[in-house]
């Protein structure tokens, strides 16, 4: 089994590591040994640069041990004995070159012009694991919406955490609706049980459109694991946002009175009536909470997941979950 297929989310294992640690070996709870450098832990995510130059994401909960190789230890690399870090640096440069070439091929394929078939064939000739990696990169990085759409569709053929993360991100943050829709379709095809959890971080996004996209996705991928986060962010919605103001008013002018004003010339004085102009306003002024739509979206998702219906009453949802969350 390849390294990438073994880097999965899991619950087993304990971690007693500093937040940043250089290492040559890490042992996972499933028995996998990975060799590389720069194992770094940031919250619930960690990265490790493998011997072949790829930087992969590792669930810290799976890591059992981190071991530093003996000082001065070297590895064989293309007929030479070199430090592991030197080999990794060389491999990273080559991997970056391959990644850029793969992205160019995907963009030419997606545009469907003269070189499309040639580019498609070139990409198809890559190893399966590499294709999945480059598709995920294109979905995140490409400026060409056609390439992102193509990558979203093709990732349906690549099972694993990398595809789930790339597709869930695109389903929430991509600026093109067809790309978001294709990402959701591919996630349904993959049918990975980790999919709902991949949307949870986006519920706390500072951007309302991303929060709404994440809530909508959780309606399509319901999971009780999402309930606490939905309730908590629903509560935050009540208190964390401003108000919207709308006014539609018609003003009418009318003469409400007359005032006598003296005037004339030096030889004649006269009094004239000067009209007093007043205004009358009529219409509607609405002062509304702009987060109402977001609250309703949370309530709909919670109803779909739990079968309960407490509307937008956050307190009742909290009470129900406190009593039933463990069931």
β-bridge mates for residue 250, sequence order: 282
- Using the Cα atoms of residue 130, residue 132, residue 136 and residue 141 in order, give the sign of their dihedral: positive
Whole-model pTM over 0.85: no
> Which residues, in sequence order, are CB contacts of 260 under 8 Å at separation 6+?
271, 272, 273, 274
Residue-wise pLDDT for 154-207, tens only, equals 999 999 999 999 999 999 999 999 999 999 999 999 999 999 999 999 999 989
Phi and psi angles of residue 71, each rounded to the nearest 5 degrees, phi first: -55, 140
How many alpha carbons fall within 13 Å on the CB side of residue 53? 16
Plot region of 151 (φ>0 → left; ψ -120 to 50 → alpha; else → beta): alpha
Phi and psi angles of residue 290, each rounded to the nearest 5 degrees, phi first: -70, -15
Residue-wise pLDDT for 281-316, tens only, equals 666 555 444 467 888 899 999 999 999 999 989 999
Cβ proximity of 147 and 110 under 8 Å? yes
First CA to last CA across the chain, in angstroms? 36
Kindly report the CATH class assigned to 3-69: mainly beta
DSSP for residue 70: P
Cβ proximity of 27 and 67 under 8 Å? yes
How many residues appear in the chain?
A: 327
Give the whole-angstrom CA distance, residue 131 versus residue 8: 18
Give the whole-angstrom CA distance, residue 81 versus residue 92: 18
Cβ proximity of 224 and 197 under 8 Å? no
Please give the structure tokens belonging to residue 83.
């430090």
Q: Smallest Cα–Cα separation from 218: which of 190, 239, 182, 187?
A: 187
pLDDT score for 262: 56
* Relative orientation angle of helices 145-154 and 161-173, to the nearest 10 degrees: 140
pLDDT score for 3: 41
**Rounded average pLDDT per 10-residue block, the chain, 327 residues:** 38 32 78 89 84 87 88 87 90 93 94 89 93 96 96 96 95 96 97 95 91 94 94 74 53 65 55 64 54 85 93 91 82
In three-state secondary structure terms, 40 is strand
* Relative orientation angle of helices 145-154 and 177-190, to the nearest 10 degrees: 10
């Amino acid at each position: 089994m390849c390294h990438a297929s073994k880097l999965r989310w899991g619950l087993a294992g304990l971690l007693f590591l500093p937040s940043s640690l250089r290492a040559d070996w890490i042992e996972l709870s499933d028995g996998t040994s990975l060799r590389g450098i720069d194992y770094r832990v940031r919250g619930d995510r960690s990265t490790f640069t493998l011997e072949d130059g790829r930087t992969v994401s590792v669930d810290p909960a799976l890591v059992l041990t981190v071991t530093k190789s003996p000082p001065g230890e070297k590895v064989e690399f293309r007929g030479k004995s070199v430090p592991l870090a030197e080999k990794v640096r060389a491999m990273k440069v080559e991997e970056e070159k391959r990644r850029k070439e793969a992205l160019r091929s995907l963009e030419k394929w997606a545009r469907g012009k003269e070189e499309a078939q040639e580019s498609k064939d070139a990409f198809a000739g890559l190893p399966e694991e590499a294709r999945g990696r480059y598709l995920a990169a294109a979905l995140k990085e490409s400026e060409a919406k056609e390439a992102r759409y193509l990558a979203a569709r093709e990732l349906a053929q690549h099972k694993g955490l990398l595809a789930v993360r790339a597709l869930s991100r695109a389903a929430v943050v991509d600026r093109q609706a067809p790309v978001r829709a294709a990402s959701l379709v591919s996630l349904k095809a993959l049918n990975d049980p980790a999919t709902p959890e991949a949307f949870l971080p986006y519920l706390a996004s500072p951007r309302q459109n991303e929060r709404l996209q994440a809530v909508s996705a959780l309606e399509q991928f319901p999971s009780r694991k999402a309930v606490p986060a939905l309730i908590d962010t629903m509560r935050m919605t009540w208190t964390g946002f401003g108000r919207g103001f709308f006014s539609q008013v018609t003003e009418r002018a009318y003469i409400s009175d007359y005032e006598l004003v003296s005037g004339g010339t030096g030889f004649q004085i006269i009094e004239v009536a000067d009209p007093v102009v007043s205004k009358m306003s009529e219409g509607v002024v609405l002062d509304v909470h702009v987060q109402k739509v977001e609250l309703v979206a949370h309530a709909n998702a919670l109803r779909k997941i739990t079968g309960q219906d407490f509307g937008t009453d956050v307190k009742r949802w909290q009470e129900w979950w406190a009593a039933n969350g463990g069931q």
